[in-house]
Amino acid sequence: MEEILQYYREGMKCFAEGSLDKALSYLKIAATEGIDRPEVNDVIALTLIYKGDFEEAYRIFLDSSKKFNGEISQRYLSSIDELNGCIEKHNLAIDLIKRNKYDEALEHLLFIRNTGFRTINDDMLICFLYCTKKEYKNCKEILEEIQSINKEEVFYYKMKSYLDKKSYSRLKLYVASIAAIIIFSTVIMWRPSNNNYKAEEKGISVKQVAAANNNDIKTISNNNLTSSNNSDSNYKILANLANDIMKEDLYDFAINNKDLDVSKLDDKGKKLYNQLEASYKSKAEVYFYKNGSDLYKNGNYKKAYEYLLIANDNLKGDYLDEHIIFYLAKSAKASGNGGVQYYRQYVNRYPQGCYREEALYDLAILSYQNNDKKEAEKYASIISEEYSSSMYNNNRIRSILQ
């Protein structure tokens, strides 16, 4: 329980400091592991609303309302009609953007913003629209608010780069592309029959709740519920792993995963880790092959080797295996990490492989450079006999066979 309380503390602290992604990861784990507190539910739900996941947010509000009858959950449940009206305006704004009616779209998005039902998607679009209208001051103000709400928001840094470089010609294309993917669905579920809140009180910002719930961090920490840094560290790593999976940052997952001692987790922690690991493994082969091969083609051989090495650890026995092993060998050779073992693996495993000639050639050259003349002659002979008309049967191969 001590470790889970640390999750709670870290999550609330991150939320108050404006690190929404980390807060969501920590608090989801805390809630899963048994921390059932109204402020945890409120923070998770409000963060999900800001990210546009209304259905899940309202399911949490509904559950929290039944358990705690809290003000925030009741407030949002009583305002579903208002939220759905905002969703309709959002989708109308998307349609207007696609038709280049930016002024009308901006009017609808600003209306939504003024109700208090803010989402990152709406804030992003408002930034784009201000920029296309060359209202750069307004754009920067919205952008700074985005960063103050969530310091981890990638859009902030990308858009700031656009503004700094004055790359406005690309913005209209980006507006059209982003508008196509953020259509919201309305929320349909039970809501309280007695609406005790005024309309202007229904909208509540993420920052307001962060400030209100910051006191709960002090309350928890003063309840003598402390744990050692050593016992907490594995749960912090687990939270980071959850955050990595949520953001689909598989490279960070692979790195952080090396520091986790699964044996130090309780049963629920182990169960969660197994779920995260399964999600990672289902995507790792394709992710690391694609990025690794791109890095290789762009001449970043050292990083390509690192990525393809991870891809090789996650082979699934499918068509990608051949390409992964070959490019791992190539990147190892190009980055000064040898490559002989991977070339051998490729040649032995794929006697009819599409890269066989090149693999044999590189293997012969590397073996010769390593003063393994017997191995070099072995692979050079295969090229000479089986691929006599190949470009790889050249003077270097003939010199090895002399």
The CA distances from residue 252 to 102, 246, 260, 310, in Å, are: 39, 12, 13, 12
- Please report which confidence band the pLDDT of residue 302 belongs to, taking 50, 70 and 90 as the band edges: very high
323, 292 in Cβ contact below 8 A? no
- Choice among 223-227, 306-310, 335-339, 363-367 with the minimum mean pLDDT: 223-227
What pLDDT shows up at residue 97? 84
CA distance 101 to 71: 39
What pLDDT shows up at residue 221? 36
What pLDDT shows up at residue 71? 85
| Percent of the chain predicted with pLDDT > 70 | 82
Average pLDDT over residues 22-37: 82
Six-digit token pair at 317?
């026995």
Domains and CATH numbers, the chain: 2-78+191-223 (1.25.40.10), 81-179 (1.25.40), 241-281 (no CATH), 286-401 (1.25.40.10)
CA distance 294 to 313: 18
CA distance 101 to 130: 13
- Please report which confidence band the pLDDT of residue 185 belongs to, taking 50, 70 and 90 as the band edges: low
Does residue 120 register a pLDDT over 60?
yes
CA distance 295 to 308: 10
> 209: part of which helix (H) or strand (E)?
helix 206-221
For all residues of the chain together, what is the average pLDDT? 81
Alpha-carbon torsion (105, 106, 109, 110), positive or negative? negative
Alpha-carbon torsion (16, 22, 24, 28), positive or negative? negative
Comparing 230 with 281, the larger pLDDT belongs to 281
What pLDDT shows up at residue 171? 53
Residues 6+ apart with CB under 8 A from 47: 15, 20, 23, 24, 206
Query: What digits encode the pLDDT tens for the residues 364-394?
Result: 999 999 999 999 999 999 999 999 999 999 9
- Choice among 25-34, 54-63, 113-122, 124-133 with the minimum mean pLDDT: 25-34
Give the angle 21-97-55 at the CA atoms, nearest 5°: 40
What pLDDT shows up at residue 304? 95
What pLDDT shows up at residue 218? 37
Q: How far apart are the first and last CA of the chain?
A: 72
Query: What digits encode the pLDDT tens for the residues 156-170?
Result: 877 887 777 655 445
Query: What digits encode the pLDDT tens for the residues 40-85?
Result: 888 999 988 888 888 888 889 888 888 888 888 888 888 888 888 8
CA distance 132 to 109: 15
Q: What region, left, alpha or beta, does residue 62 occupy, with left being phi > 0 and alpha being psi -120 to 50 degrees?
A: alpha
Helices 171-179 and 80-98: crossing angle in degrees, nearest 10, is: 130
> 374: part of which helix (H) or strand (E)?
helix 373-386
Amino acid at 181: I
The CA distances from residue 228 to 235, 236, 331, in Å, are: 12, 12, 43
- Please report which confidence band the pLDDT of residue 1 belongs to, taking 50, 70 and 90 as the band edges: low
Does residue 222 register a pLDDT over 50?
no
Does residue 293 register a pLDDT over 60?
yes
Average pLDDT over residues 210-239: 48
